[in-house]
A = this chain, B = another copy of it.
Amino acid sequence: MKKLGILGGGQLGRMLLQEAANYPVDTWVMENDAECPAAHLCHHFILGDIRDFDAVYAFGKKVDALTIEIENVNIEALEKLEAEGTSVFPNTKALKIIKNKILQKGFYTENEIPTAGFKIIQSKTELKAMADFLPAVQKLATGGYDGRGVLMINKKEDLDNGFDEASILEKMIPVQKELALIVAISQQGEPAVFPPVEMIFDPVLNLLDYQLCPADLPEKTLWKAEAIALSVARNLKSPGLFAVELLVDKDGNVFVNETAPRVHNSGHHTIEAHFSSQFDMLLRVILGYPLGNTDAILPSIMLNVVGEKGFRGDVVFEGLEEVLQIDNAFVHLYGKKETRGGRKMGHVTVISKDKQDLLLQAKKIKQLLKIKGTGKD
């Protein structure tokens, strides 16, 4: 049996391992928390820091193939392992491009992939000269994650609060829609494209509420989105699975926002709603099997279940029983013992032929299901 190592033990690893149990594969996970969501679902769990060269190198030497469930890994160790014959999904060349936002933007430009105009910034002094480029978004070249390392700079005065570090300053696009498309690339370079999902945001708080699949798009916009996502994945020249986040402006122009070189939050609905899930698909890529069928069995909506603001400590569920009674809802809880405000604790997918039913059930679930804690923040 092939030995597959996963760097990172969060919910993405957990769901990957749930699917891995359908195939003959020996699974290894490294994470520096023995109680992480993926720790108990693998054949071999190794306690270790995925950012540490020695830990990653030693771990990689135990397996035939490696993949990641978070970008924040020691890339030098992966490069050495790759040079010594371990397969890495995605390969380190692709991972390096994506890990650094300056390189990532340069990659889009080089490959003529539409993306928001940008300036490379090395210091606050350089930033302050950019008053004419506003409104814009400053993004740190490295280390940004889940909203951290990103700053809106709307007017000249905001420049003073900007990052004094290597970063990009990106022109603000008047966004009509946010989409995400997952593309798999086999070891032979063959692609498979999942249908796009559409992000539906709370109009007041601007928080992601739901992900609807398929996205409601004019055919031409859909074609552009697919072409761009495919171009991103192909030009990275790496087998693996890529989640491409796209922005559609008021005129129907489509731009890449950013790319994740791994299974992704925007693909959770594929577990129940598609013939091959994103997790199944990545395993097929790694194990050298034929790519799966990306078609939807039914349209779907997915919402993340996050810890309520103001709570922390041991998890207390509110409304779980009511949600478990919804006929077409699939509940995934990640088994995290402790909650904190905004922490991803699970997700729920609803499938239905009827889009109105999807929206209705998602709204109901969002209102019903709360993750609180025994402690207060």
Query: Does any Cβ of B come within 8 Å of A335's Cβ?
Result: yes
Question: In the assembly, what is the distance between CA of A333 and CA of B22, in Å?
Answer: 5
Question: In the assembly, what is the distance between CA of A321 and CA of B24, in Å?
Answer: 13
Question: In the assembly, what is the distance between CA of A46 and CA of B374, in Å?
Answer: 32
Cross-chain contact B295 with A298 (CB below 8 angstroms): no
Cross-chain contact A275 with B327 (CB below 8 angstroms): yes
Among B42, B328, B332, point to the contact of A275 (Cβ < 8 A): B328
Query: Does any Cβ of B come within 8 Å of A23's Cβ?
Result: yes
| Docked complex: A284-327 residues within 8 A CB-CB of B | 284, 289-290, 292-293, 295, 297-298, 315, 320-321, 324-325, 327
Among B14, B22, B298, B328, point to the contact of A293 (Cβ < 8 A): B328
Question: Cβ of A292: which chain B residues have Cβ within 8 Å of it?
Answer: 324
Cross-chain contact A41 with B22 (CB below 8 angstroms): no
Query: Does any Cβ of B come within 8 Å of A364's Cβ?
Result: no
Query: Does any Cβ of B come within 8 Å of A116's Cβ?
Result: no
Cross-chain contact B321 with A23 (CB below 8 angstroms): no
Are A289 and B40 CB-contacts (below 8 A) given A21-B335, A24-B315, A275-B327?
Answer: no
Cross-chain contact B14 with A21 (CB below 8 angstroms): yes
Nearest CB of chain B from residue A33's CB, rounded to whole Å: 14
Cross-chain contact A1 with B40 (CB below 8 angstroms): no
Query: Does any Cβ of B come within 8 Å of A18's Cβ?
Result: yes
Q: Which residue of B lies closest to A38 (CB)?
A: B21
Are A335 and B275 CB-contacts (below 8 A) given A289-B324, A293-B328, A327-B293?
Answer: no
Q: Which residue of B lies closest to A345 (CB)?
A: B24
Q: Which residue of B lies closest to A271 (CB)?
A: B22
Nearest CB of chain B from residue A257's CB, rounded to whole Å: 30
Query: Does any Cβ of B come within 8 Å of A27's Cβ?
Result: yes
Question: In the assembly, what is the distance between CA of A298 and CA of B297, in Å?
Answer: 9
Cross-chain contact A40 with B18 (CB below 8 angstroms): no
Cross-chain contact A21 with B18 (CB below 8 angstroms): yes
Are A24 and B335 CB-contacts (below 8 A) given A42-B40, A297-B298?
Answer: yes
Q: What are the interface flags for A121-157 relative to B under an 8 Å C-beta threshold, 1 for contact and 0 otherwise?
A: 0000000000000000000000000000000000000
Question: In the assembly, what is the distance between CA of A18 and CA of B20, in Å?
Answer: 9
Question: Cβ of A27: which chain B residues have Cβ within 8 Å of it?
Answer: 40
Query: Does any Cβ of B come within 8 Å of A237's Cβ?
Result: no
Nearest CB of chain B from residue A12's CB, rounded to whole Å: 13
Cross-chain contact A290 with B325 (CB below 8 angstroms): yes
Question: Cβ of A61: which chain B residues have Cβ within 8 Å of it?
Answer: none
Query: Does any Cβ of B come within 8 Å of A358's Cβ?
Result: no
Query: Does any Cβ of B come within 8 Å of A331's Cβ?
Result: yes
Which of the listed residues A22, A284, A327, A351 has the most CB atoms from chain B within 10 Å of its own CB?
Answer: A22
Interface residues of A (CB under 8 A from B): 1, 14-15, 17-18, 21-25, 27, 40-43, 275, 284, 289-290, 292-293, 295, 297-298, 315, 320-321, 324-325, 327-328, 330-333, 335, 337, 351
16 A-B Cβ contacts within 8 A? A14-B21, A15-B21, A17-B21, A18-B21, A22-B332, A22-B333, A23-B335, A24-B315, A25-B335, A40-B42, A275-B327, A289-B324, A290-B321, A290-B325, A293-B327, A293-B328
Known: A17-B21, A40-B43, A297-B297. 5 other contacts (CB 8 A): A23-B333, A25-B335, A27-B40, A290-B325, A297-B351
